[in-house]
Amino acid sequence: MKRRDFIKGAAGSLALLTLDGQVVDARTVEALPPNALGILYDSTLCVGCNACMSACKDANSMQAELGQGNTIWDKPQDLSSKTLNIIKKFSSGKGVNKDVVEDGYAFIKRQCLHCVDPSCVTACPVSALTKDKESGIVSYNKDACIGCRYCQVACPYNIPKFEWDDPYPEIVKCQLCSHLIAKGGISACCSVCPTGASLFGPVEKLIEETRRRLQMKPGKQYDFPVSSIDSGKSHVFKAPKYVRHVYGREELGGTQVMYMSAVPFEKFGLPTFPKESFVSMASGIQYAIYKGMVYPLVVLAGLVFMVKKNKNAEEQGKTEKKDTVKGDTHE
């Protein structure tokens, strides 16, 4: 089959989908769930004590990291199949002034951000990763997973990790301590944070808290809630000079784990993303090919039609040629 005929067949079959002037809708862009839960991490309140990391390992029965010579390494350098959250440090020059860029330092917490429109959930072909319709928590079902690791490739924040050293490997990521939430608790990392740098609560209330903090006058003292936005507990701190942006509020459709900082987020290695989610950008023919198999079937039908048409034309041409040869011989 000639390339031109292939393209004509594909285009013609896709045209069948637009008889009414509309292409079949690929998907609906996800919105923030009604009872979404999340975390507000305030870098200016973090003292780098790593209590959240320790509590996370205890709450999720995670193994200790091993260093050289298989010695216990109690301070991992990044997220791994044994570390679901981690406190990392930005440092510049002499690194003596907290929460400033020049000769300063600041902390950042890395974990699953529980995207509003998660790429990992869309990429998973067996729905091993799902987003709860009420809480918005992105959870993992090991019994459904086939180990394809598409979620790792799809995640723009490089969060899901694979257990390479396990004979029965799983994907590992923060699930916001959903097992504790189901019992009326909160995420372990927030429950032990001594300063309230990791604050748990309904996302809508956390967003309101970010607005309150952005309106604070730097240097003036304010109450900052601890553990949970509804805990009733708080500490008094001087307000910092925040970056006028809440990371995760709009990035790729938004996330349920959000960041505030006095240091530009790119200093922490956090990527700059557009507002629209990658899932939304990819909706259309790519999504239909992957999930619904609508376009491929129509395209296949169109191509089959073109092949049969070409074959019939070719056979007819051979017949006419034979008749012409016979006529010439008879004459």
For residue range 231-287, what is the model confidence (pLDDT) as tens digits? 999 999 999 999 999 999 999 999 999 999 999 999 999 999 999 887 777 765 455
Between CA 115 and CA 120 the distance in angstroms is 9
Between CA 183 and CA 42 the distance in angstroms is 26
Are both 140 and 265 inside the same structural domain? Answer: yes
Are both 307 and 189 inside the same structural domain? Answer: no
Domain contains 188: yes
Domain contains 288: no
Domain contains 298: no
Are both 104 and 241 inside the same structural domain? Answer: yes
Given this model, what pLDDT does residue 307 score? 59
Residue 125: pLDDT band with limits 50, 70, 90: very high
Given this model, what pLDDT does residue 177 score? 98
Are both 187 and 41 inside the same structural domain? Answer: yes
Checking if the pLDDT of 294 tops 60, the result is: no
Backbone angles phi, psi at 50, to 5 degrees: 70, 15
Given this model, what pLDDT does residue 106 score? 98
Specify the number of domains making up the chain. 2
Distances 244 to 138, 263, 319 between C-alpha atoms, Å: 28, 10, 77
3-state secondary structure of 127: coil
Are both 183 and 307 inside the same structural domain? Answer: no
Domain contains 318: yes
Are both 133 and 211 inside the same structural domain? Answer: yes
Domain contains 211: yes
CB of 137 within 8 A of CB of 178?
yes
Checking if the pLDDT of 23 tops 50, the result is: no
14 lies in which domain range? 3-27+303-330
Are both 175 and 307 inside the same structural domain? Answer: no
Are both 18 and 47 inside the same structural domain? Answer: no
Are both 129 and 172 inside the same structural domain? Answer: yes
Given this model, what pLDDT does residue 277 score? 83
Are both 231 and 318 inside the same structural domain? Answer: no
Q: Measured between alpha carbons, how far apart are the two ends of the chain, in Å?
A: 36
